Structure 1
Amino acid sequence: MENMNVHRSIVINGDLKFTNVSRVLQSKTFGKMITTFVNELEIRHSRKLKAVIPFRDENKSFDLEKFRDFVTLLNMKSLKDVMRSGYFDIQYGVDEYTAIMLDFLEGFYNYWRNIQRFMVKNETYNPDDGAKRSKAHSLASNNDSLKKLVLDLYRNILYNVTGKSLSIYRQLPSGAQVSFLVDHFDFPNDIKSKNDSLYRVPYVWEAIFEPPVIFYTQSSKRNGVFPIKKDKKILERFYMDSESWYAIPVKAGRLLIIAYCHKDFLELGAGLFNLFELATPEEFLHKKPDGAVFFGLDKSLFEEDEMRGFVVKEDGVYYGMLPNDPEIDYFGYMKKMILTLHNIIQIKNFWLPIHGAFAKIRLAGEKPVNIMLVGDSGAGKSETLEAIHKLPKELGCDVDILIDDMGSLHFNKEDELMAVGTEIGAFVRLDDLQPGYAYSTMDRSIFMNPNIVNARVIVPQMTYEEISASTPVDYIFYINNYEKIDDAHAPIEMFDDLDTALAVFSEGKRMAKGTTGEVGITTTYFANPFGAVQLKSEHEKIAENYFKRMKEKGIKIGVIRTQLGIPGFEQDGPFVAAESLVDFIKHIK
């Protein structure tokens, strides 16, 4: 399967100042885009190819430079005048070629707007806040200039082709969707790995988004788990070209993870900025990372059982390896690999990683209650917490989400059970959100594949200070999305028996919701295929110890039924669960 991102994304040179139309037309970006567009038209045998017949050389190949000259003139003169000039061998009448060129122009303009557009500017990092702001403003201004020039060029040519001015002007997004400031840093030898290319690629230290940001990936589901290859050595078997790779340093909770992203998958790297806190050079230049992810490595490095990614450990660092394969071109693979590394490290630290959500819920006039919801993808963790916002305002519900998808539990020095999060954002299904919620946050959200099943949105929700702090846990619930609420199955039930509670959590049962390749009722150990499954024996010992200590501390353990996996309950199920949870909190003594 061909990687279509080669043709559906573009990296614009932000070092180039876009001050006039000539800069746009003479840029490598324009040359690449128009050539790729013509090639795709040839593959489809499109009628739009009539427009470029006059710009073929003696070998019938597309003459890019001649076409550049044509567009440059067409930006200044009418199509009729350009054709009459005799500079180009256009064997059509004016009216016929006007229709042909209009069709081509609209097609190319839509092609440009539909590809994933990134701008990258090399800029020396300066820790001074004033200097950083100035450089960010300069990059944003350059992107604004590009957007204006593209719109002006389109409108000028449209007028010169048709001879008609527009009645309605739409300021459509036409520049880069995301812009990056990058720098090349000098790393101390004592923190370097055996692969020197890790330190030659540009590191992103700031990003600017131009909303609404919508990306289309080649896959929309995640399958399988990432195996740990204990004896495999791979770091010295590949080299990253500094022209094709970007390093994005993030903090997964309290851990430093470097994500190395091939330019063909830059939309996945961009999604990280809404999900994790960006690490600063002061943080990643003076210590080894806890882990690193490589997304887009050559497939020849991977064995058959590794084609959806695997984990290795070398020189005391965990590495997540993902191939350049369109079948894993999905943000879930990037996110879950980072979280898998996080969980493996936490298990080694004797912490208990939790696949779940954690929130501080406060009712009017009452003290807050800290609730942990545990469940696999599609169980309804985030959806239940979001549904609380839709409850009547008279209830006075206030919800602070501290963990959206993954966190970890530990006992502090005072022997209190504490939770720590990993992400500052949420990666959630559009279908399962309350109607209108995602669009109310459109100015901050990143939309992924909004046109298909399992459409997703990445929404920033929390601050890093909130999610990285240790917060006491009052109640822990397993999320059951497959049982209908009836006389025999209450919305909320508490476990009296520790063994029963541990068995339910360990079984990890749920109704698959199309978020992965699974269908029907599935079971995943502790609802956590991201580290817990791979290190099951170690995790079991930690879980048994933690549950025993929870019981001793009087921390209540129960189950909440969201009904999210039952057809027809996608909206009402989490709403009923939210109502029941709030009612439960109201009656806590």
Structure 2
Amino acid sequence: MKRSVIIDGSVIYTNYSQIMGQRKFESLLKDFIEILKKKNSPLLETLNPFKVGNEIDLHRLVEYLHLLTMRNIKELSNIINYVNPKELARFIESFYSFWRSKHRFMVRKERYVEDYNRRASIEYTMTMIGDQFKAVVKNLYRQLISNVTNEFPNVMRQLPSGAQVMFLVDDVENEKFKDYQWMHNIPTIWGAIFDPPAIFYTKSNKRRGIIPIVEKNILDRISLDPREWYRFPIMVGDLLFYNFVHREYLAHGAGLANLFEIATPKIVKNTKPEGIVIFGIKPEDIPDYDERWKNAVVFKDNNFYVGVIPGTKENDYFGYMKKTTLTVHNLIRISQNRLPIHGSMARITLQSGKSAVAMFIGDSGAGKSETLDALNRLDEVAEVDIIIDDMGSLDIVNGQIVAYGTETGAFVRLDDLPPGYAYHTMDRSIFMNPDKINARVIVPFNNYTDVITPTPIDFFLYANNYTEVSNDEDRIKFFNSPQEALEVFSEGKRMAKGTTAEVGITTSYFANPFGAVQMRKKHHEIAKKFIEKMFETGIKVGEIRTMLGIAGYEKDGTLLAAKALLKLIEKKGG
């Protein structure tokens, strides 16, 4: 049973027949009835008048519902002997909820144009079509209920019932990358319009294991059906990636649009991609499939990195999309002799005018994003300009260490953020499993230009979430030597916070299981060089105790750490 519904964006929806006359409507009704059968639901009794033998005549049921949009149920007694109005109203209510539980996407094919005004007109048209579709669906539901119950509600609720995300697609061929023709047949996303709040419920909400790296030619042995797949060209930092997403997992494609900069067709046509990620391919369609690849795998195909996430229930989690993409990014950076960083970074400006750029290193749940959020809530802080939320890289330019980001958005764990944060970001966020542990929100936080601009850093801090401290002086400790710093960063200790399948105190080399651990030897040489350069150039290298993993300090620990950093910035005098 398909979870994602693709709505044709080329149609301007003005009447009920355009919806009820589609095969898709009948198919949805069939899926809903199959669920009722599995549950042995009492609602099935409603459909007895539409049975032919033991089976329900779906075509006849749809025709009857269609007539109900125009006439009262009492007027249709000559067509069907007897349909219980109360039971039918309950059936319609449940079917409407079933529709709203689907992941709903509208897709419209439009040629991308460079002219801003013409492009704005295309996007406006798409928005109008989406709004009209939503209005027709809501009115269809209301008309059916009204004609069945012979009542109209005193309180009306504008429930989200149209497309959650609208995509603009085009056929785009890369003039500099024609090696694999199948890629160019896949529709390319060049624009996205969200109808907030966008809430998706996926079948998994944890990430497991370390992604293996395998040397194997894969791209010439894969073929994706253009009727089932979409290509999301995204900028990961300054690297162009092709992320191919199966239609059933389009919720994670929508997440990409909120997390990364979507590359324009002009860039796609004229730039060779640096990395490729394929999300949702059946395990049996992966050449020489190995069970060790069940969660994700990265293939090194002739010095080209290709991430593959099999389409299974266990992998139906945005964390796999994000981390596989970032693992490919990190492998590329290591090959470029740059240091990939799993952490966050922000320029912190105080009301006094003093400022500093602080980078926090740590694995998932260490308190990186939470400490920045705590800083942003301090009265003494004028602005926290987040440049990196999860992954970035360091380079040496003109003898100075500078940092680059990768994402323009954040994949934030709601459990560790202040109450109300979710509501504050509701109008521009994608929510994933908001009712579960490790509930997440994907929210944009910065513009692409700022993220990829080289930024010098002042503090390079390991986020320690497991050490309990009581004195403010102990909340941030600086290392005395590059070797001491390298040992702590290399060990990568943290208290697991339920964001992955791990529990208790865990270790992860450089807090970065996304490429660094797989290429540990080369990464270690690069890390040693960069940390020695930090000590040489006066960057303060240390450890910040967030206490996020200690019971009772989940909220206050990061706030206390933020206040300690605030004092250091005041002393810095920058």
* TM-score, reference length from structure 2: 0.97
Letter of the 1:192 counterpart: K
Contact 1:12 1:29 in 2 (8 A): no
Q: Which residue of 2 aligns with 1:63?
A: 57
Are positions 1:530 and 2:530 aligned together? no
Q: Which residue of 2 aligns with 1:434?
A: 418
Alignment match of 1:35 (pick from 30, 34, 45) = 30
Could you tell me which runs of 5 or more consecutive residues in structure 2 were left unpaired when the two chains were aligned: none
Alignment match of 1:460 (pick from 430, 444, 447) = 444
Alignment match of 1:400 (pick from 357, 378, 385) = 385
1:471-493 deviation digits (Å, cap 9, x = unpaired): 00111000000011135981111
Are positions 1:73 and 2:67 aligned together? yes
Are positions 1:140 and 2:132 aligned together? no
Cα drift, residue 185 of structure 1: 2.0
Alignment match of 1:244 (pick from 214, 222, 228) = 228
Q: Which residue of 1 aligns with 2:547?
A: 563
Distance 1:211 1:488 in 2: 42
Distance 1:19 1:72 in 2: 15
Letter of the 1:312 counterpart: F
Letter of the 2:14 counterpart: T
Contact 2:366 2:546 in 1 (8 A): yes
Larger mean CA deviation between 365-374 and 454-463 belongs to: 365-374
Larger mean CA deviation between 10-19 and 402-411 belongs to: 10-19
1:540-559 to 2 correspondences below 5 Å: 540-559=524-543
Alignment match of 1:201 (pick from 186, 209, 230) = 186
Are positions 1:331 and 2:318 aligned together? yes
Are positions 1:228 and 2:213 aligned together? yes
Alignment match of 1:173 (pick from 117, 142, 160) = 160
Letter of the 2:316 counterpart: D
Distance 2:62 2:111 in 1: 34
Alignment match of 1:495 (pick from 459, 479, 486) = 479
Cα drift, residue 315 of structure 1: 4.5
Secondary structure at 2:428 match in 1: coil
1:443-474 deviation digits (Å, cap 9, x = unpaired): 00111000010000011000000100000011
Q: Which residue of 2 aligns with 1:49?
A: 44
Distance 1:371 1:428 in 2: 19
Distance 1:170 1:184 in 2: 39
Specify whether residues 488 and 160 from structure 1 end up closer, same or farther in structure 2 by C-alpha distance, changes over 3 A only. closer
Letter of the 1:223 counterpart: R
Secondary structure at 1:587 match in 2: helix
Contact 1:193 1:315 in 2 (8 A): no
Secondary structure at 2:43 match in 1: helix
Secondary structure at 2:331 match in 1: helix
Contact 1:274 1:425 in 2 (8 A): yes
Letter of the 1:191 counterpart: F
Distance 1:313 1:365 in 2: 50
1:280-320 deviation digits (Å, cap 9, x = unpaired): 01111112200010001121123110111111122542110
1:77-92 to 2 correspondences below 5 Å: 77-82=71-76, 84-85=77-78, 87-90=79-82
Cα drift, residue 410 of structure 1: 0.6
Contact 2:234 2:243 in 1 (8 A): yes
Distance 1:267 1:101 in 2: 32
Distance 2:230 2:167 in 1: 10
Alignment match of 1:210 (pick from 195, 204, 208) = 195
Are positions 1:578 and 2:573 aligned together? no
Secondary structure at 1:397 match in 2: strand
Contact 2:354 2:570 in 1 (8 A): no
Are positions 1:510 and 2:494 aligned together? yes
Distance 1:588 1:76 in 2: 74
Secondary structure at 2:191 match in 1: strand
Q: Which residue of 1 aligns with 2:8?
A: 13
Secondary structure at 1:365 match in 2: coil
* TM-score, reference length from structure 1: 0.95
Distance 1:500 1:167 in 2: 69
Secondary structure at 2:214 match in 1: coil
Q: Which residue of 1 aligns with 2:354?
A: 367
Cα drift, residue 182 of structure 1: 0.5
Cα drift, residue 578 of structure 1: 1.0
Secondary structure at 2:416 match in 1: coil
Are positions 1:260 and 2:252 aligned together? no
Cα drift, residue 187 of structure 1: 3.1
Q: Which residue of 2 aligns with 1:270?
A: 254
Contact 2:279 2:311 in 1 (8 A): yes
Contact 1:289 1:317 in 2 (8 A): no
1:348-387 to 2 correspondences below 5 Å: 348-387=335-374
Distance 1:247 1:123 in 2: 15
Alignment match of 2:308 (pick from 312, 317, 321) = 321
Secondary structure at 2:474 match in 1: coil
Distance 2:274 2:291 in 1: 27
Larger mean CA deviation between 313-322 and 243-252 belongs to: 313-322
Distance 1:330 1:385 in 2: 25
Are positions 1:25 and 2:20 aligned together? yes
Distance 2:17 2:387 in 1: 50
Secondary structure at 1:229 match in 2: strand
Contact 1:388 1:397 in 2 (8 A): no
Contact 2:393 2:403 in 1 (8 A): yes
**Number of residue pairs aligned between Structure 1 and Structure 2:** 570
Contact 1:268 1:334 in 2 (8 A): yes
Specify whether residues 237 and 61 from structure 1 end up closer, same or farther in structure 2 by C-alpha distance, changes over 3 A only. farther
Contact 1:276 1:424 in 2 (8 A): yes
Secondary structure at 1:427 match in 2: strand
Letter of the 2:247 counterpart: K
Letter of the 1:547 counterpart: I
Distance 2:349 2:425 in 1: 23
Larger mean CA deviation between 331-340 and 549-558 belongs to: 549-558
Distance 1:458 1:423 in 2: 11
Alignment match of 1:154 (pick from 132, 135, 141) = 141
Secondary structure at 2:90 match in 1: helix
Q: Which residue of 1 aligns with 2:177?
A: 191
Alignment match of 1:343 (pick from 306, 330, 337) = 330
Specify whether residues 429 and 63 from structure 1 end up closer, same or farther in structure 2 by C-alpha distance, changes over 3 A only. same
Distance 1:515 1:588 in 2: 35
Contact 1:483 1:489 in 2 (8 A): no
Cα drift, residue 172 of structure 1: 1.2
Cα drift, residue 497 of structure 1: 2.2
Distance 2:115 2:89 in 1: 50
Q: Which residue of 2 aligns with 1:3?
A: none
Distance 1:140 1:31 in 2: 26
Secondary structure at 1:185 match in 2: coil
Runs of 4+ in 1 over 6 A off after TM superposition: none
Secondary structure at 2:360 match in 1: strand
Distance 2:33 2:473 in 1: 61
Contact 1:187 1:285 in 2 (8 A): yes
Cα drift, residue 584 of structure 1: 1.6
Letter of the 2:102 counterpart: I
Letter of the 1:296 counterpart: G
Cα drift, residue 376 of structure 1: 0.4
